[in-house]
Structures are given as C-alpha cells and as structure tokens.
Amino acid sequence: MRNTLPYARAGQTIGLLGGSFDPAHAGHAHITREALKRFGLDRVWWLVSPGNPLKSRGPAAMAQRLQRARQVINHPRVTVTDLECHIGTRYTAETLSRLQRLYPGVRFVWLMGADNLVQFHRWQNWQQIMADVPVGVLARPGDRLAARCSKAARMHRQQKLSPRHSQALPQGRPPRWCFVNMPMVAQSSTQIRAGGGWG
C-alpha cells in the first residue's frame, strides 16, 4: 500500500483538502494556494473522496475526478490523491487517525471551505477531528456569516486563532482552528454540473 500513498517526511506540514471534486474547479485551486500561504504549509494533498458520507448522490467515477483535478491544479507543492480508497476510509476522523499512524512526525492540517464548517458538527466524531489536527477554514461566498455562527465555531470559540496569526496554525497543539478571509472565487461543482456537466 505504501507506494500508492504520497510521500512525506517527518517535520513537514501537510494541508489536507478533502472533497468530492465532482468536478474540481478554480475555487478549489484558489483556496489551496491561499492555504499554502496563509497557514505556512509545505504541501497540500487533495483527498479525492470515495464519497461524502452525508451526500446521498454518488459522485462521478474516481478516475474521471482524479484526471480533472490534476488538470485544474498543476502546482509543485500540491498532490492529488485517492488515498482514502487505498486505506479503506471515507469518514474524515478515521482517515486522519490512519494518516497519523502512517506518517509519524508529519503535521497534518485539515482544510475546508466555510460551507463545510456550517455542518461540521454533523460529521462522524467531529470533536475527535478537532482534538487530532488543527483546522484551517477558508472563506467562501455566501457562507462566512453562517460559518462564524456555526455550532462548531461557537463550541470552539476559545480555540480560535486570530487570522493575524494564521501562519502559526500548524505549530500548536490542537484543538485550534483559524478562519481566514480573503478575496473569494464563487465557483461550485453543483453550478458546473447544472450547467451541463464536465465539459
């Protein structure tokens, strides 16, 4: 299994952007570049999901989603991977605990757009995710206010790092999270699918 997983060495800081990527678009690429800068990450891995456990509709075939994702992000510090298929997980809490065992000494940061923070408290073992890794949240059009008022944000307000200190997010002990505001890209996979699909 090792050679189907991306390489990382101890001491590196890796941001994980999990998603359906059905299909990948400029919004994903934008938040990835911002996350690299704002959170001082060495690399970002896109975890193309076998299927979001909260979505009833299954996504397009993995091979198609991977291929599109690699066209959308062509960046020397970003790796597109289907590693959840190889390690046999689809719940994020499980994925993180497996990765932490597989990569001792690597610091992982979970990344998400503001819309995901709104429903984060519905994820399986979400409090465990908060306890295991720092979480970096990136602004998304229409979701900033709801994210700030979300259950996860309210319950963890004491652990929120000021965006002025976002570079320090990966360094301290979780739970800690940071919300960064920035110029936003208003694209979504739903919009692309509604517009006739993948083109």
Residues that bind ligand NCN (CB under 6 A): 18-20, 47, 49, 52-55, 90-93, 116, 123-124
Residue 130, token pair as written in the block: 């908060």
Question: Taking the complex as a whole, how short is the minimal distance between the CB of residue 116 and ligand ATP, in angstroms?
Answer: 4
> Is 27 near ligand ATP (CB under 6 A)?
yes
Question: Taking the complex as a whole, how short is the minimal distance between the CB of residue 93 and ligand NCN, in angstroms?
Answer: 6
> Is 32 near ligand ATP (CB under 6 A)?
no
- Single out the segment in contact with ligand ATP by CB under 6 A; choices: 8-16, 27-35, 72-80, 172-180: 27-35
Cα 126 to Cα 79: distance, rounded to the nearest angstrom: 25
Q: Which residues of 136-151 are buried (b: 16+ CB within 10 A; e: fewer)?
A: bbbbbeebbeebbebe
Could you say which residues in the range 172-191 bind ligand ATP, by CB under 6 A? Answer: 184-185, 187-190
Question: Taking the complex as a whole, how short is the minimal distance between the CB of residue 196 and ligand ATP, in angstroms?
Answer: 15
Among 15, 16, 21, 136, binds ligand ATP (CB under 6 A): 21
Is the peptide bond preceding residue 59 cis, with omega within 30 degrees of 0?
no
Question: Taking the complex as a whole, how short is the minimal distance between the CB of residue 182 and ligand ATP, in angstroms?
Answer: 9
Residue with tokens 């699909």: 197
Number of residues that this document lists for the chain: 199
Cβ proximity to ligand NCN: between 90 and 151 the closer is 90
Encoded one letter per residue, x for contact with ligand ATP by CB under 6 A and - for no contact, window 79-118 reads: ---------------------------------xx-xx--
Residue 159, token pair as written in the block: 């652990």
Is the peptide bond preceding residue 50 cis, with omega within 30 degrees of 0?
no
Strands (E), 9-127: 13-19, 43-48, 78-81, 107-113
Cβ atoms of 111 and 78 closer than 8 Å: no
> Would you call 115 helix, strand, or coil by DSSP?
helix
Provide the binding-site residues for ligand ATP, judged by CB under 6 A.
Answer: 17, 19-22, 27-28, 31, 112-113, 115-116, 138, 140, 184-185, 187-190
